[in-house]
């Protein structure tokens, strides 16, 4: 089983967006990153696609969901400012679904550090750039290995 944890693609600067930040969309670069994730995950089983309600997160996983014939389900525990420990528990409870989940830079590095502290093996530390992907290999409810896939350039 695997959990694929994605940080949303590039969405420009917060300061350059005049609306509510939850509505900030992906930039052209971010849309390219979203399309590349379809190829990065080609050959991986994906059972469900979850996203923070933020538009930039939903847009990041929409191409993958469309490619797999799946719907994107919004999940508030993946939203910016949410509790990383609750988000991690929520994801682990869904590991049998082979989920893809898109979230934010304030949650993902913290979740990765928590997993490393619990014994997850990785060579990448807690890095999580926009448009990147972590593949978390789960055995018996425990994340054994985390593999970092940097964003497409």
Task: Note the pTM of the prediction, 2 decimals.
Answer: 0.94
For residue 80, is it within any domain?
A: yes
Does residue 55 register a pLDDT over 90?
yes
- Our count of domains for the chain comes to 1
3-class secondary-structure state, position 42: coil
Burial class of residue 128 in the structure, from the number of CB atoms within 10 Å of its CB (0-12 exposed, 13-18 middle, 19+ buried): buried
Specify the DSSP class assigned to residue 123: S
The confidence band for 41, taking pLDDT boundaries of 50, 70 and 90, is very high
**Model confidence band, residue 92 (pLDDT cutoffs 50, 70, 90):** very high
Q: Tell me the C-alpha distance between 95 and 84, whole Å.
A: 16
**15 in a structural domain:** no
Q: Is residue 90 assigned to a domain?
A: yes
Task: Confirm whether 117 is domain-assigned.
Answer: yes
68 belongs to a structural domain: yes
Range of the domain at 60: 2-10+20-149
DSSP 119: T
In a domain, residue 91? The reply is: yes
pLDDT of residue 152: 76
pLDDT-derived band at 127, boundaries 50, 70, 90: confident
Best CA proximity match to 139, nearest among 153, 151, 121: 121
CATH code for the domain of 68:
3.40.50.1240
Q: How far, in Å, are 39, 90, 117, 123 from residue 34 at the CA level?
A: 10, 23, 30, 24
Q: Look at residue 105 in the predicted model and tell me its pLDDT.
A: 94
The verdict on residue 113 lying in a domain is yes
pLDDT band (50, 70, 90) for residue 15? low
CB 34 within 8 A of CB 62: yes
pLDDT for 64 beyond 90: yes
Q: Is the pLDDT of residue 17 over 70?
A: no
């Amino acid at each position: 089983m695997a959990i694929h944890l994605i940080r949303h693609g590039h969405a420009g600067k917060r300061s350059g967006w005049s609306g509510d930040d939850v509505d900030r969309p992906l930039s052209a670069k971010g849309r390219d990153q979203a399309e590349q994730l379809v190829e990065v995950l080609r050959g991986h089983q994906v059972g469900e696609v979850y996203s923070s309600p933020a538009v930039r997160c939903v847009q990041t996983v929409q191409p993958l969901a469309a490619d797999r014939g799946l719907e994107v389900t919004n999940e508030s525990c993946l939203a910016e400012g949410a509790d990383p420990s609750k988000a991690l528990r929520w994801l682990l409870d869904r590991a049998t679904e082979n989920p893809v989940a898109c979230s934010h830079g304030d949650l993902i590095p913290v979740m990765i550090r928590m997993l490393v502290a619990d014994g997850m093996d990785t060579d990448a530390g807690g890095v999580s750039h926009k448009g990147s992907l972590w593949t978390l290999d789960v055995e018996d409810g425990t994340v054994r290995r985390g593999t970092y896939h940097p964003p497409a350039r």
